[in-house]
A and B are shown apart, each in its own frame.
Chain A
Amino acid sequence: QKEVEQDPGPLSVPEGAIVSLNCTYSNSAFQYFMWYRQYSRKGPELLMYTYSSGNKEDGRFTAQVDKSSKYISLFIRDSQPSDSATYLCAMSRGSARQLTFGSGTQLTVLP
């Protein structure tokens, strides 16, 4: 069983839709939770970062962490075609430097 599970999609939504992306994990030692966005043929870039449980909002993006359920989510409001990319969840243990990534969800926002 993988430490981090993520539905690979692909997910296709119309412009303006609310998108929900999710990951589950098995290791309760994870404390830092990240969402990375990866455009085709590019390296991933950090989108959102959350420490422990709770919500964090940044513009159209909201990250949620529920440590009791070992479940994290990324919501995208008013989705745009420019949001079309692969979204990777990632997490780390304490001060551990390496991240454990999910397999990524491929999102397409149709104009």
Chain B
Amino acid sequence: GAGVSQSPSNKVTEKGKDVELRCDPISGHTALYWYRQRLGQGLEFLIYFQGNSAPDKSGLPSDRFSAERTGESVSTLTIQRTQQEDSAVYLCASTPRGGVTGELFFGEGSRLTVL
């Protein structure tokens, strides 16, 4: 079946604009995660959804960042008033119920550049 799908794959925006990044998880996967990967750095946890609720939002760096998910389907990560430090690859991952601990299925990411 299809893997995790993310769009857009690349986004260039001007400082101060809002952006929306979309993630379509693997069908049937109940959990969904957003991570951020800055150049030369590891993955930074942002938020985790179980179904459409977000029990852990601890990684969202500021109130400019928000995310929502519709049921066990698509999720949107919104960054308001983008700053240059928001430039990164935003990775989405999903896992099935009862899956192997630590096995996240990642999409190819949305590469965000803030000018």
- Minimal beta-carbon separation of A6 from chain B (angstroms): 7
Known pairs A103-B41, A104-B42; A43 contacts B107 (CB<8 A): yes
A interface bracket (residues with beta carbon within 8 Å of B): 20 to 34
The answer, yes or no, to whether B103 is at the interface (CB within 8 Å) is yes
Q: Which of B4, B41, B102 contacts A99 (CB 8 A)?
A: B102
**With a CB–CB cut-off of 8 A, which chain A residues contact B106?**
43-45
Given the known inter-chain contacts A98-B59, A99-B45, A103-B42, please indicate yes or no for A49 contacting B33, CB distance below 8 A.
no
* Number of chain B residues close to chain A: CB under 8 A: 26
Q: How far is the CB of A93 from chain B (nearest CB, A)?
A: 11
User: Is there contact, CB below 8 Å, between A100 and B102?
Assistant: no
Q: How far is the CA of A86 from the CA of B113 in the complex (A)?
A: 22
B43 and A88 contacting across the interface, CB-CB below 8 Å: yes
Q: Name the interface residues of B51-82: CB closer than 8 Å to any CB of A.
A: 56, 59
Pick from A6, A43, A97: contact of B42, CB under 8 Å: A6
Smallest CB–CB gap between B23 and chain A, Å? Answer: 11
List of A residues within 8 angstroms of B4 by Cβ? 43
Question: A101: which B residues are within 8 A, CB to CB?
Answer: 35, 42-44
Do B102 and A49 have beta carbons less than 8 Å apart? yes
Q: A88 vs B104: C-alpha distance in the bound complex, in angstroms? A: 13
**Minimum CB distance partner of B6 in chain A:** A43
Q: A90-B102, A97-B31 are in contact. Are A41 and B108 (CB under 8 A)?
A: yes
**Of B45, B95, B100, B104, which is within 8 A of A100 by CB?**
B45
Is residue B25 within 8 Å, beta carbon to beta carbon, of the partner chain?
no
In the complex, A44→B44 CA distance in Å?
Answer: 13
Q: For residue A46, which residue of chain B has the nearest CB?
A: B103
Residues of B within 8 A of A (CB): 4, 31, 33, 35, 40-45, 48, 50, 56, 59, 91, 93, 95, 100-104, 106-109
**8 pairs, A vs B, C-beta closer than 8 Å:** A44-B43, A44-B91, A46-B102, A49-B102, A49-B103, A97-B95, A98-B45, A104-B41
Show the binding face of A for B, using Cβ within 8 Å: 4, 6, 8, 32-34, 41-46, 49, 51, 88, 90, 92, 95, 97-104
